[in-house]
Structure 1
């Protein structure tokens, strides 16, 4: 059993969290993010039995010498008018 989610679920969660409306602390005005660029560490592996990449944020802050370094994903999210 893997603790990692399919990559598309992780990316969807990142996009949903970044692109939803939030309240600005000063004045409680609605703030809508229309574009965002970020670089995040991800543990990634190929799940051959499922035929998908699995990826999620690293489970532990400290790694041992046996743990591979996390991959670095740079992603740009933007709102596209329909």
Structure 2
């Protein structure tokens, strides 16, 4: 698996888990969903940051700092590197 592919997977997991957390918060606010998806989102967030800083393709100006934006940082980074 290439580093960019790992970044894509982590970015998708981060965005989807954030959407699930926000949907849960707006609707029923089930604590079980928050307990399961919250740590997944945090792990995906850290994985996006680590994958971004370890991927040589992200050496373009501004790409690495975009990864630290919570929730959509991975998607912003992928958009920046094209």
**Which structure's residues are more often strand, by fraction?**
1
**Which structure's residues are more often helix, by fraction?**
2
Q: Same fold (TM over 0.5)?
A: no
> Which has the greater radius of gyration?
1
The normalised TM-score by structure 1 is 0.31
